[in-house]
Amino acid sequence: MRLCEEIARFVDVFAATQQELLTLLQEKRRVLVAADAVRLAELNASELKLTTRLEALVVWRSRLLEASGALGCRGESLSEVLTELSDPQAVDLRVRLPQLQQLSVALRQEAWIQWVISQRCERHYAEMVDVIARGGQTAPTYEERPASNSNGGAVLDAAV
């Protein structure tokens, strides 16, 4: 069936793109820790290209769902569409979809880690700018609870 072949092509491209992005994000974390600004800029450019590719894949997925609806296979996800198809290739594709979901979870976790790192770096930078602006003196205002007493807190994986 033509729809299954198109979904298979989509799954192949999507899996490759997700894996490429995960590898890039893992490298980016190492570069962030090493504070290599030049390499970080290179990785950011590559990440932008992959993000653009993922956006195109979202459009492709929408077209696949529309095409499946025109064929009478109603579903809000490709997984639902594949359950309605009687093609043997659909069974193989349904087996691959959990792998894509695991890659998505790994991507969310890696992105969350990098968000935490970047937020802490931004906070540290802001504190350093304040210290420089005040000439090393304490703030002239009084606070009930100074904001600088935080020790970071726990990291929560919001995807789980």
Convert the pLDDT of each residue in 58-103 to its tens digit. Answer: 999 999 999 888 888 778 888 888 888 878 888 888 889 899 999 9
pLDDT in the model for residue 14: 94
Task: Using alpha carbons, select from 49, 42, 41, 40 the residue that is nearest to residue 21.
Answer: 49
Query: Structure tokens of 111?
Result: 């992105």
pLDDT digits (tens, 9 = 90+) for 108-119: 999 999 899 889
* Cβ atoms of residues 81 and 1 within 8 Å: no
* Domains in the chain: boundaries: 2-107
Helical (H) or strand (E) element with 25: helix 2-34
Query: Among residues 153, 11, 38, 1, which one has the least CA distance to residue 94?
Result: 11
pTM for this entry? 0.75
CATH of domain 2-107: 1.20.58
